[in-house]
Amino acid sequence: MGNLDLDVKEAPFVQFPYEWVIDLKGEELKRMVLLSWRFDFFAKIASDEGRDIRRCFYESQEKLAVMFGLSPNSRPKISQFMTKMEKAGYISTQRENMNTDGEIRTRIYIVVNNPLILGKYGMTI
């Protein structure tokens, strides 16, 4: 799980809101599908462990950039994309300051507002 390679099983499918297909174009839609897949992966683990799925998925902008096929230095593009998706209501974020080795860092939890995923865990948008 340390690397960001995706092992896609044979004949996979993903379900996401039709609204995304209408509103998002090309790379944005691809990025939302990837975010949705990642969120669902971590939400299942959190749910199995009895944790809140709204606080299970966080990635640095560098890791998101690599996952999206961009340079790790593409933080401005990632920031613009995430801001746009949050304004559109496709994702929501929650910031939390964490003390890591005596240093305060902000962790940004990402929730993908996909009703199919949220519904599996008894949540709504």
Task: Show me where the domains of the chain are located.
Answer: 18-120
* Mean pLDDT value across residues 61-81: 94
Are the C-beta atoms of 91 and 82 separated by less than 8 Å?
yes
pLDDT per residue over 77-125, tens digit each?
Answer: 999 999 999 999 999 999 999 888 889 988 899 999 999 899 999 988 7
Q: Is the per-residue pLDDT at 1 higher than 50?
A: no
Q: How far apart are CA 17 and CA 105, in angstroms?
A: 33
* % of the chain surpassing 70 pLDDT: 89
User: Residue 15's pLDDT is what?
Assistant: 75
Give pLDDT, residue 125.
Answer: 78
The predicted structure's pLDDT at residue 16? 80
CB atoms within 10 A of CB 57: 21
Q: Considering the domain 18-120 in this protein, what is its CATH number?
A: 1.10.10
Confidence of residue 68 (pLDDT cuts 50, 70, 90): very high
- Nearest to 120, CA basis, from 59, 47, 31: 47
